[in-house]
Amino acid sequence: MADTVLVQPLSALNRAALWGAVIILVATLFLAANLNALVPFNAWASMLTPEPGNLRELMARDVLLPRFCVALCCGAGLGLAGTLFQQVLRNPLAEPGTLGVFAGAKCSLVVATLWAPQLLVLGWDFAALLGAATAILLVFALSARRGFSPLSLILSGLVVSLSLGSLGSMLMMTHFDAVNDLYVWEAGSLVQNSWSTTLGLLPRLAVALAATTLLSRRLKLLDLDEAGALSLGVPLLSTRLLGLGIAVVLSAMIAAAVGLISFVGLAAPTIARHAGARLFGERLLAAPLIGAGLLAMTDQALVFVTGGVEVPAGAITAIFGAPLLIWLMRQIRPAAEGWGSGAPMAASFPVAVTDRSKILLGLAVLAVLAVALFVGRTPQGWHIAFGGDFADLMPWRLPRVAAAAMAGLMLALAGLLIQKITGNALASPELLGVSSGAGIFLILAAFLLPPMDRVSMALFASCGAFVMLMTVLWLSRRSAFSSEHLLLIGVALGSIVASMLTYLTALGDPRILNVLVWLSGSTYAVTPGQAAFACLPALAALTIVPFVSRWLAILPLGRAASIGLGVSEWQSRVLLLLVAAVLTGAATVLAGPLSFVGLMGPHLARLSGFRKPVAQAYAAALIGAALMVLADWIGRTIAFPWQVPAGLVSTVIGGAFYAALISRR
């Protein structure tokens, strides 16, 4: 029996280490093939001392080989960081990307480049570390009230990542000339032209490994419950802080060196665990090996397949990592099947709305519209348009204001419908990935089909929204459509869209410019005809609302109540899903896939006292329209003469709104 106890961990470690060795071997074979394409095998020895005029030998020695070594170092570091995050937080979904560490590093580097360049004198490490630490503190603050549960922690991390990432992107768009170097860095490129990055990463990685080894005994005991660890004399607070500190510092340094490479820190410990490395000590050795092999294999395979066309490894790891996140998330806390049974939303019982609420809502909407139409900036400063100036500006401002209003109205209505369908007050087209599905279809259309007008794009995007909505609901059925599972799936799908954009941008295809305009939520190219067309689905949806008010009142009560009250669950849900998909698709063409208006509109309507289904729907629509018009006006004036897309502005505002909402819940 004793022999069995001693041998079993060793065999598990061997199996996990074997996985890492095999992956590294495959990566090495790809490297050999890429080297052979530059320098014949029989001339490899000459790479060590290449002739000055031999460009191929110089590229092999100073470009390809250091690239491989950097990939090994970064993969090992991310595997180690992911293992530490998961052990300290006792969360199998934790890694630098899902906890917002990378987004914080990005935002901090942008801010430092623009307004505090002195922080970058000695390199990007300190600025990246400052942003990463700030992000992780925000994540902990948001998830503290829910006891740092695994799903709430990751959900908070993904929302912080989304918000900080959008803020960073907005700053990059408004200061393009000053931060254009960050576009390549953001994609997670491993391209090298010397051995300096490798020589800089090796000592950092060695220090992190040494510190983790010294702390490993205390970290192992975190597998026990809190009482058991305390009984063995483990100082829990200091152990967790030290473990998190090592992981955050290591992640920030890797991000500063090569950019944002997500999901390697998630995949490496997961593969190690499924290979048999159940204990922390086993994963501590196996995960860095597997992470090193995964990143090196991915990068060298890209070099081999593309034949020299640069494709950022960070984009590809995100494309493959998002399905892994979805699969892992589905393994956590399965629940009974049933629509809305996981997180039932408060039913829409008849509650009187005061005349004051109606008046305030109307005045607020009128004030936003007046500001958007009359107030703006010129080279001479702020300007209020009257008389002839107003008439001259209307052909430019009115289509934008109308398009933004219709986009916000449709997203808010779609959000309300999805919340009623799922019985989940945290659902929205943006967070469920429905808007991202529309974005994916738009990307495919731009590259596979002839050029389309906005009407055709809206129809195509609606198909994508419907397919994605059905996919998200199907994937969430095991968890009974709980808030965390729905939102995690949606944000994971959204990361696929971002990765596709990064990949396509790296290709340099001119067609990507149209896609970027669509998906950033820009309205400055909207014509009067397109704005008028956007009114059609919005008005049609407003007309339908009174006819489905009974469904909207009963569906949030759950499946049993719906059947008992005679509501045809299948027909009602499919029809509402179709309406929500069409609204989302049409709005995505105007406002981009991310805005949070679909979340904010229904909640603000509910907080204003509107509880009856019809009143709540119309109030949410008005609020959504006002929010998007306000975001468009801010984007038009905040960095004049530059234009900041309304989608990015509303994402930053919506991220703050979501943070306040989740902290209250």
Beta carbons within 10 angstroms of residue 202's beta carbon:
13
Nearest to 277 by CA among 333, 331, 223: 223
pLDDT at 247 over 70: yes
- For residue 314, being part of any structural domain is answered with yes
Mean pLDDT of 10-38: 83
Verify that 367 and 325 share a domain, yes or no.
Answer: no
* Cis peptide bond prior to 117, omega within 30° of 0: no
Beta carbons within 10 angstroms of residue 128's beta carbon:
28
pLDDT at 1 over 50: no
Query: Tens digits of per-residue pLDDT, 127-168?
Result: 999 999 999 988 888 777 666 666 677 777 877 877 787 777
**Contacting residues for 640 by C-beta, under 8 A, at least 6 apart:** 377
pLDDT at 26 over 80: yes
Verify that 191 and 264 share a domain, yes or no.
Answer: yes
pLDDT at 278 over 90: no
- For residue 519, being part of any structural domain is answered with yes
Nearest to 291 by CA among 503, 470, 82, 499: 82
Verify that 304 and 386 share a domain, yes or no.
Answer: no
Pull the structure tokens for residue 473: 């609901």
- For residue 221, being part of any structural domain is answered with yes
Verify that 158 and 68 share a domain, yes or no.
Answer: yes
Q: Of 292, 311, 330, which residue constitutes the final position of a domain?
A: 330
Q: Of 313, 330, 347, which residue constitutes the final position of a domain?
A: 330
Question: What is the structure's pLDDT at 307?
Answer: 72
For residue 384, what are the β-bridge partners?
A: 375
- For residue 345, being part of any structural domain is answered with no
Verify that 311 and 372 share a domain, yes or no.
Answer: no
SS3 382: strand
Beta carbons within 10 angstroms of residue 594's beta carbon:
29
27-36, 44-53, 94-103: lowest mean pLDDT where?
A: 44-53
- What is the secondary structure of 3-53 as a DSSP string? HHHHHHHHHHHHHHHHHHHHHHHHHHHHHHHHHHHHS-GGGGGGGGS--TT
pLDDT-derived band at 486 (thresholds 50, 70, 90) equals: low
Verify that 316 and 378 share a domain, yes or no.
Answer: no
Query: Tens digits of per-residue pLDDT, 384-423?
Result: 877 777 787 777 788 888 888 888 899 889 888 888 877 7
Question: What is the structure's pLDDT at 348?
Answer: 42
244-258, 331-345, 435-449: lowest mean pLDDT where?
A: 331-345
Verify that 305 and 454 share a domain, yes or no.
Answer: no
Verify that 530 and 582 share a domain, yes or no.
Answer: yes
Verify that 236 and 307 share a domain, yes or no.
Answer: yes
Give Cα 376 to chain centroid, integer Å. Answer: 32
106-120, 221-235, 262-276: lowest mean pLDDT where?
A: 221-235
Q: What are phi and psi of 116, to 5 degrees?
A: -140, 60
pLDDT-derived band at 321 (thresholds 50, 70, 90) equals: low
- For residue 336, being part of any structural domain is answered with no
Question: What is the structure's pLDDT at 89?
Answer: 84
Q: Of 292, 315, 330, which residue constitutes the final position of a domain?
A: 330
pLDDT-derived band at 292 (thresholds 50, 70, 90) equals: very high
Q: Report the alpha-carbon distance of residue 602 to residue 593 in Å, rounded.
A: 18
- What is the tally of structural domains in the chain? 2
Verify that 323 and 365 share a domain, yes or no.
Answer: no
584 versus 655: the higher-pLDDT residue is: 584
Q: Report the alpha-carbon distance of residue 498 to residue 507 in Å, rounded.
A: 15
Give Cα 200 to chain centroid, integer Å. Answer: 29
Verify that 286 and 367 share a domain, yes or no.
Answer: no
Question: What is the structure's pLDDT at 343?
Answer: 42
**Residue 28 sits in a domain of what CATH number?**
1.10.3470.10
At how many degrees (to 10) do helices 125-143 and 150-174 cross? 140
Pull the structure tokens for residue 300: 């060298």
Q: Report the alpha-carbon distance of residue 126 to residue 252 in Å, rounded.
A: 8
Verify that 388 and 320 share a domain, yes or no.
Answer: no
Burial class (CB in 10 A: 0-12, 13-18, 19+), 508: exposed
- For residue 344, being part of any structural domain is answered with no
- For residue 400, being part of any structural domain is answered with yes
- For residue 349, being part of any structural domain is answered with no
Beta carbons within 10 angstroms of residue 369's beta carbon:
18
Q: Which domain holds residue 528?
A: 360-664
User: What percent of the chain has pLDDT above 70?
Assistant: 72
pLDDT-derived band at 377 (thresholds 50, 70, 90) equals: confident
Amino acid at 638: I
